[in-house]
Amino acid sequence: MGLLSADGLVVGYAPGEEILKGVDLRLEPGEVISIIGPNGAGKSTLLKAIAGLLKPSRGEIVFRDRRIETLHAREICALGLAFVPQEMNVFPRMSVSENLEIGGFVEPKKAKGRIGAILDRFPILKQKRRDAARTLSGGQRQILAMAMALMVEPAVLLLDEPSAGLSPIAAETLFETIREINAEGVAIVMVEQNALEALSIASRGYIMVDGQNHTEGAAADLAIDPNVRRIFLGG
């Protein structure tokens, strides 16, 4: 069954609405998978459902051999599954250190030690630990958002469009950070607009269209498939 699985997920934002129409997903320990597809395909909705922010009307989600689709988001986070949304993912008026403290809300007694470890892990955050998050660059804010998620020591990190709005150089730095986080043993599910870059750091990829699974396979194979490149990757 793997580390994380979703089977037949049907999810919407209102009663009777179906954004996801029976989506399946598998994640193995230590793996990176990328979810790509056109706007409106339901990619972000899938991450929100896994994180407990949306409740499926049908289907099941299993994490570490436990069904979690009925749990609250806080409970899911405490089990070791952390979600980094695309927007509003830091507290701009609070300092970097205060943001990290909030990231450790699940186990506040352990937060201080974890903050020290996180600051050592990300030197740019250590340098700016007393600065308000709003003073950080876009790339630095995204690194802070991921660092906040790492405060719960997750087994799985869900990333929703992490490079959105970043310059090419900032995006390159961010993707390298994602590679490093994965190399430290954290499995990652990533929804990403930069499909080729996302596939380059993933072991497998899922293509979603209209709330359904369209294609899945080895990321390297998807990246060179002429039909996939023509339809989904811009040539």
Chain segment 110-131, per-residue pLDDT in tens: 878 899 999 999 999 999 999 9
Quickly list DSSP for 30-78.
Answer: T-EEEEE-STTSSHHHHHHHHHTSS--SEEEEEETTEE-TTS-HHHHHH
- Across the strands, what pairs with 26? 5
Annotation: CATH topology of 1-80+155-235: Rossmann fold (3.40.50)
Most distant CA pair in the chain, distance:
52
Q: Are strands 204-209 and 212-218 parallel, antiparallel or unpaired?
A: antiparallel
Residue 87 neighbours by CB under 8 Å, 6+ apart: none
CA distance 25 to 69: 14
CA distance 192 to 195: 6
**Type of residue found at 102:** I
Q: CA neighbours within 13 Å on the CB side: how many for 178?
A: 34
Strand ranges across the sheet with 66-67:
20-27, 4-11, 58-63, 66-67
pLDDT at 234: 62
pLDDT at 228: 80
Classify 97 as helix, strand or coil: helix
Report phi then psi at 107, rounded to 5: -130, 75
Low-confidence ranges of the chain (pLDDT < 70): 1, 233-235
CA distance 139 to 90: 12
Question: Domain boundaries in the chain?
Answer: 1-80+155-235, 90-153
pLDDT at 229: 80
**Type of residue found at 121:** R
8-state DSSP, 166: -
Ramachandran region, residue 106 (left: φ > 0; alpha: ψ -120 to 50; beta: rest): alpha
CA distance 197 to 6: 24
pLDDT at 1: 58
Per 3-state DSSP, what percentage of the chain is helix, strand, and coil (rounded to 5)? 40, 25, 35
pTM of the model: 0.92
